[in-house]
Structure 1
């Protein structure tokens, strides 16, 4: 994203932060997208019903947003700012960048109905 006020974090950075319990990763994609494939530990707060005041802010972990490509998470950051919340970071490139980097996800296999841990 070209907005200098939004911090683009790399997939490797986000993974390290999740592993060190430094962040709460919020996925703003819709429930069907989240169910189809998600990042381990991400919480789903869909943009269509996004309420910044419902986010788990104020704890020791920072909130980092994530979507499919980075567009919706940037929109959610703007909503957080409008609500006066200190949320300024997202996964640059979204889950697409995460998958392209070969990082693990949890996926639903529609053919078998199984949940697949893609490590």
Structure 2
């Protein structure tokens, strides 16, 4: 390979490595963890901090979690996103008030989080 082509290839490889490392660093800072392949221990939604619980639900279980009378006044709404593509859901009423639990969509599962701290 001629000398200029080798230099261009090396510069391109270094650029790709730098982009990958910056992306990994950003994802680790958002997840607040080195392991970005598991749900984070804390998430923030609607200005509140939620901590990881032990509950894992399917979408059907989440919809059936509350009785019919509760669902008439409360709806499960997407209130945020955890990059790159994990949605955060909460039960909200007509006035926009949310319950003390949040659910992180992780694949086909919904992982429960509970409100951290007091009012």
TM-score after normalising by structure 2? 0.25
TM-score after normalising by structure 1? 0.25
Task: Specify which structure has the bigger relative contact order, considering alpha-carbon pairs within 8 angstroms and separated by 6 or more residues.
Answer: 1
